Amino acid sequence: MDQDALDRFDAAYPEARLDGLCDARIRRARVTIALARLDLAVAQGNLERQDGARVTALDTTRRLIACVPTDGNAWLRHAMVATSALGLTADVMESFAQADRLAPFEGWVLRGRLPFYADLASRGLEAFREPARRDFRLLVEFGMDRAGVVKAVQRWPDLFKETYLALLARMKERERRRHYAAADQVELDVGQPKRPGEIVPFLDPPGTGGVRP
């Protein structure tokens, strides 16, 4: 999303027109736009614009939470932005706790939460180590994003690989093979059997059983 698209949305839905309005769809759209604006400012390396975009993102997430206090994703996005602005304060940690309580198993929320928790845990923040592993186990058990699972193991092996190997050992053979295939795609070793070489009879003498490496 580019700056022109963001500006057009702001012109169509200025915050001044929304004062006192609790329309969850519009509030969620404004959060999406605010986060996109922050991402764009970060990508451009514009520190002044980043500061303004961060303030706006915090404000829009707060307004969404006030409108829909049971929206776990809103609490998560607020906590993520607040972490970059304020650090891990008690209020920020409470926002993370609310996100966990209100959206513990929603796959699309989990996929946004997992890398954030994993990054914090990999930086030595022990409070996020077990939540990251919990979300990783859920992602594996959902069974719908094997590519995402193996990429997480590849990116944070110290955090997830041991857990993944234990989960693989308990899987049914058919599901385990699917995970092995996903791991093969990114050349990740999770104990899968090596794929047999390709027999090339016209290059090997008869009866030798030659195999191309």
Comparison of pLDDT for 142 and 7, the residue scoring more: 142
DSSP tag of 205: -
**Alpha-carbon separation of residue 206 from 19, 62, 107, 176, 203 (angstroms):** 83, 74, 54, 36, 9
Comparison of pLDDT for 48 and 173, the residue scoring more: 173
The string over 74-96, giving b where at least 16 C-beta atoms fall within 10 Å of a residue's C-beta and e elsewhere, is: bbbbbbbbbbeeeeeeeebeebb
Please determine, for residue 114, whether its predicted confidence score (pLDDT) is greater than 70: yes
Comparison of pLDDT for 123 and 107, the residue scoring more: 123
For residues 118-142, give the mean pLDDT: 92
Inter-axis angle of helices 146-155 and 129-142, nearest 10? 150
Token code pair at residue 18: 């929304």
The confidence score (pLDDT) of residue 195 equals 66
DSSP tag of 199: E
Flag whether the pTM goes above 0.85: no
The confidence score (pLDDT) of residue 184 equals 94
Token code pair at residue 38: 């922050």
Token code pair at residue 141: 């058990």
- Other CB atoms within a 10 A radius of the CB of residue 151 amount to 16
Distance between CA atoms of 165 and 154, rounded to whole angstroms? 13
Instruction: Give 143's pLDDT tier (boundaries 50, 70, 90).
Output: confident
- Dihedral of CA atoms 99, 100, 103, 106 in degrees, nearest 10, equals 120
Distance between CA atoms of 192 and 196, rounded to whole angstroms? 12
Token code pair at residue 14: 């200025």
Token code pair at residue 106: 């929603």
